[in-house]
């Protein structure tokens, strides 16, 4: 025992030990990325080849459970964020004598940034957690093995409907969140701060164009993909027992949350560059 | 160690050749060889945790061997890709040790699942199959119940009904009588016998229930330390001189195991 420890101490001199840890992480990360890549590929392949009556029925059930039942919470979140935005922004605008123009900044921030990201984060908690837990429990109780034994591909029967439902419903929910967010801002500006209706909506409208709306929806689409694929992946690879499922849910949420923020940044830069390419004379609106 | 050479002319249905399987550092199957004859019931016995369930999962490709080969009707299956395994899996029925019912579906839909997956059955045929299989396992009228509302023994019987629903040619039973009362166990034993005699189903039964083993077995094999250590007919195993086998079939604890208790 003692001998064992001294020999180990000799091996782990700080530099090689540090390198070994870094190397271990790298190998691990590459492995997970590869595994996730294969999983993603089988989902996409399944979406294009594996739709049948059963998966379509499951798709509608999932769209109801994920989408329709999430509307209240998403609207609540959106409404309060829009209101808070107005509370913070209006005094600043008023100070420079531009109180009437506050509508445009509220609309742009809600539709392009806050609406999609906030909706995605709420859905990552609400849907991601339940997807991971459901699939993880199915894996632990051998239901996924049972599917395979009965010649039903688990990815096609379970994952494809969930991912499709999430991709479809996230943009829809984002629209709900955006609308209530704008109304929340309106309520504060017009109802509390005394901006008049006409200038509020006039400037709100000048801030918006098709591209702004499209940016929000494209983001929501990718967020839906991120949430559902990560959650399903975590469920399929979860460890044993109740603890395994619980841990998979936490890891799934954290990973989903980080990837949403990262994807938001990358998409914002990309879409902004596209905007500059298409309309070079307009000011950048990042 | 007596080996019966009573093989059907067209060879074994399932054959394991020198199969090794380990999980991390835990060696579960260690050079396992096994022939499962057609139209017969082979019972696998062995202590808890020796890898009986792992053995069954290799037959339907839920687990793949680290090395060695698995054959089904002479065709090598252990290296088949998932997609090509599907037609072979359809010829099997698998009763999971923990039942593995789909808990989002009711009992009827669970039993209908393999039929709907296969396609080409009318709703009437499906309803009739559900009713028929449920009556066989003594649960007629439970179609609309959810698996979560059933007892462990009831779930097991629904799982058996589901395993039978496509009338497979090979049925793999992982502890079919565990958790059932003695009378219900006997009904299941008779069912296994009847499926074998009347419908020529090849059966592999994993069980700890020696009464059931002696009743349904054409052959009994004992799995220990990752290998088949004994193989024979029910009578042969009763008269087997090997003390390890005798201890197991009579359910006697070893001296070492009793010593551990004495230290309490
Ligand atoms: N997927 C897996 N990953 C890791 N270890 C596993 C896995 N499946 C089985 N094992 C291990 O393999 C060993 C054999 O398991 P198995 O379930 O086959 O035992 P068994 O003979 O069926 O026991 P019992 O009679 O209690 O059901 C156990 O120690 C188990 O922990
Ligand atoms: Mg077992």
Domain spans of chain B, in order of start = 92-167
Residue A14 C-beta-side C-alpha neighbours within 13 Å: 0
Tokens standing for residue A94 = 């008023």
Residues in Cβ contact with A101 at an 8 Å cutoff, skipping those fewer than 6 apart: A93, A199, A203
Instruction: Fill in the DSSP letter of residue A108.
Output: H
Q: Which ligand is nearest to the CA of B54?
A: 1
Q: Measured in whole angstroms, how far is the alpha carbon of residue B53 from the centre of its chain?
A: 8
DSSP of B6-52: ---TT--SEEEEEEEEEETTEEEEEEEEEEE-TTSEEEEE--TTSSH
Within this chain, do residues A29 and A126 fall inside the same structural domain, yes or no? no
Rounded-to-integer distance, Cα B90 and Cα B169, Å: 9
3 state SS of B98: coil
Does residue A278 have a pLDDT over 70? yes
Distance CA A92, CA A238 (A): 49
Q: What is the pLDDT of residue A283?
A: 60
Query: Do A137 and A263 reside in the same domain of the chain?
Result: yes
Is residue B3 over pLDDT 80?
no
In a domain, A286, yes or no: no
What part of B 98-137 touches A (C-beta under 8 Å)? 98, 100-103, 113-114, 116-118
Does pLDDT of A229 surpass 80?
yes
Do A20 and A39 reside in the same domain of the chain? yes
A42 and A61, same domain (yes or no): no
Interface check for A141 against chain B (CB to CB < 8 A): the answer is yes
* pLDDT tens-digit series, residues A70-89: 999 999 999 999 999 999 98
User: Same domain, yes or no, for A22 and A110?
Assistant: no
Q: Report the distance separating Cα A8 and Cα B44, nearest Å.
A: 45
Residue A284 lies in a domain: no
Say what angle helices A241-278 and A210-236 make with each other, to 10 degrees.
160
Contact A145 B100 (CB under 8 A): yes
Ligand 1 contact via B23 beta carbon (within 6 Å) = yes
* pLDDT score, position B170: 94
DSSP-based three-state secondary structure for B109: helix
Say yes or no: A59 and A168 in one domain: yes
Same domain, A11 and A99: no
Do A103 and A206 contact (CB within 8 A), yes or no? no
Query: Is B2 a residue whose pLDDT tops 60?
Result: no
Q: What is the band of A282 on the pLDDT scale with cuts at 50, 70, 90?
A: low
Domain range for A31 = 1-49
Q: How confident is the model at residue A11 (pLDDT cuts 50, 70, 90)?
A: low
Q: Averaged over B165-170, what is the pLDDT?
A: 92
In a domain, A42, yes or no: yes
How close does chain B come to A147, measured CA to CA in Å? 9
Q: Are both A105 and A22 inside the same structural domain?
A: no
- pLDDT over threshold 60, residue A32: yes
| Tokens at A205, concatenated | 């409208």
* Interface ipTM: 0.88
Residue A286 has a pLDDT of 44
Whether residue B21 has pLDDT greater than 80: yes
Instruction: Count the domains in chain A.
Output: 2
pLDDT for A9: 52
One domain, residues A258 and A140: yes
Record: contact A150-B57, CB cut-off 8 A: no
Q: How many CB atoms lie within 10 A of CB A156?
A: 21
**CB contact at 8 A, A173 and A67:** yes
Q: Are A212 and A252 in the same domain?
A: yes
Q: Is B201 helix (H, G, I), strand (E, B) or coil?
A: coil
> By percentage, how much of chain B surpasses pLDDT 90?
56
Whole-Å CA distances, A200 to A87, A107, A112, A195, B105: 14, 10, 18, 7, 52
Burial class (CB in 10 A: 0-12, 13-18, 19+), A132: buried
Nearest alpha carbon to residue B21 among B86, B65, B85: B65
Is the CB of residue B74 below 6 angstroms from any atom belonging to ligand 1?
no
- Does the pLDDT value for residue A2 go beyond 70? no
Q: Does A57 touch chain B (CB under 8 A)?
A: no
Do both A37 and A60 map to the same domain? Answer: no
Chain B residues whose CB is inside 8 A of the A54 CB are 116
Secondary structure letter of residue B185 according to DSSP: H
Q: What is the mean pLDDT of residues B235-243?
A: 84
Which pLDDT belongs to residue B172?
Answer: 95
Contact A111, A213 (CB under 8 A): yes
Radius of gyration in angstroms for the set of CA atoms belonging to chain A, rounded to a whole number: 24
Question: Which pLDDT band holds residue A254 (cuts at 50, 70, 90)?
Answer: very high
CB-based contact, A130 to chain B, within 8 Å: no
Which atom from ligand 1 is nearest to the alpha carbon of B63?
A: 1
Average pLDDT over residues A257-275: 91
Binned at pLDDT 50, 70 and 90, residue B5 comes out as very low
- Closest residue to A149, CB basis, from B89, B98, B118: B89
* Residue range A174-200, pLDDT digits in tens: 999 999 999 999 999 988 888 888 888
Alpha-carbon span A115 to B4, nearest angstrom: 73
Within 8 A of A146 by CB-CB distance, chain B residues are: 94, 96, 100-102
Q: What is the pTM of this model?
A: 0.86
| A141 contacts in chain B (CB < 8 Å) | 98, 100, 103
Q: Are residues A145 and A94 part of one domain?
A: yes
Judging contacts by C-beta atoms under 8 Å, the chain A residues touching residue B146 are none
What digits encode the pLDDT tens for the residues B170-224?
999 999 998 888 888 888 898 899 888 888 899 999 998 888 999 999 999 999 9
Average confidence score pLDDT of chain B: 88
Contacts of B231 (CB under 8 A, 6+ apart): B1, B2, B3, B4, B219, B220, B221, B222
Six token digits for residue A216? 């929000």
Residue A105 near residue A92, CB atoms below 8 Å: no
């Amino acid at each position: 025992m003692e001998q064992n420890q001294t020999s180990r101490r000799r091996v782990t001199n700080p530099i090689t030990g540090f390198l070994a840890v870094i190397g271990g992480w790298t190998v691990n990360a590459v492995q997970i990325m590869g595994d996730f890549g294969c999983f993603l590929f089988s989902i996409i392949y399944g979406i294009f080849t594996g739709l049948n009556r059963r998966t379509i029925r499951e798709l509608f059930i999932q769209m109801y459970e994920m989408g329709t039942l999430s509307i209240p919470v998403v609207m609540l979140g959106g409404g309060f964020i829009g209101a808070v935005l107005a509370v913070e922004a209006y005094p600043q605008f008023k100070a420079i004598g531009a109180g009437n123009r506050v509508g445009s900044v509220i609309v742009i921030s809600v539709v392009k940034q806050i609406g999609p990201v906030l909706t995605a984060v709420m859905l990552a908690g609400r849907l991601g957690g339940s997807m991971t837990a459901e699939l993880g429990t199915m894996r632990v109780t051998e239901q996924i093995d049972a599917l395979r034994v009965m010649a039903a591909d688990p990815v096609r029967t379970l994952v494809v409907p969930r991912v499709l439902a999430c991709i479809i419903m996230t943009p829809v929910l984002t629209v709900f969140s955006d609308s209530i967010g704008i109304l929340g801002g309106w309520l504060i500006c017009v109802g509390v701060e005394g901006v008049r209706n006409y200038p509020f909506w006039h400037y709100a409208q000048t801030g918006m164009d098709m591209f702004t709306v499209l940016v929000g929806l494209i983001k929501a689409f990718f967020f839906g993909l991120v949430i559902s694929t990560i959650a399903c992946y975590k469920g399929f690879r979860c460890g044993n027992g109740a603890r395994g499922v619980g841990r998979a849910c936490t890891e799934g949420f954290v990973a989903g949350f980080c990837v949403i923020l990262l994807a938001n940044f990358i998409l914002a830069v990309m879409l902004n560059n596209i905007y500059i390419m298409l309309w070079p004379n307009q000011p950048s609106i990042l | 160690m007596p080996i019966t050479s009573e093989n059907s002319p067209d060879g074994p249905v399932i054959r394991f050749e020198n199969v090794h399987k380990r999980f991390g550092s835990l060696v579960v199957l260690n050079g396992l060889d096994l022939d499962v004859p057609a139209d017969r019931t082979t019972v696998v016995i062995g202590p808890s945790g020796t890898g009986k369930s792992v053995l069954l999962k290799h037959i339907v490709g839920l687990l793949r061997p680290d090395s060695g080969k698995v054959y089904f009707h002479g065709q090598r299956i252990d290296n088949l890709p998932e997609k090509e395994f599907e037609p072979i899996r359809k010829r099997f029925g698998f009763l999971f040790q923990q039942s593995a019912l789909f808990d989002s579906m009711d009992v009827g839909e669970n039993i209908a699942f393999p039929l709907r997956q296969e396609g080409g059955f009318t709703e009437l045929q499906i309803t009739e199959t559900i009713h028929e299989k449920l009556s066989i396992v003594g649960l007629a009228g439970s179609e609309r119940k959810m698996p979560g509302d059933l007892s462990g023994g009831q779930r097991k019987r629904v799982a058996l009904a589901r395993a039978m629903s496509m009338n497979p040619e090979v049925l793999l039973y992982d502890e079919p009588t565990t958790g059932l009362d003695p009378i219900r166990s006997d009904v299941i034993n008779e069912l296994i016998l009847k499926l074998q005699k009347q419908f020529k189903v090849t059966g592999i039964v994993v069980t700890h229930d020696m009464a059931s083993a002696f009743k349904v077995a054409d052959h009994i094999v004992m799995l220990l330390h990752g290998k088949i250590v004994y193989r024979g007919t029910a009578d042969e195993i009763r008269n087997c001189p090997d003390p390890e086998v005798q201890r197991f079939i009579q359910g006697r604890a070893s001296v070492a195991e009793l010593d551990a208790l004495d230290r309490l």
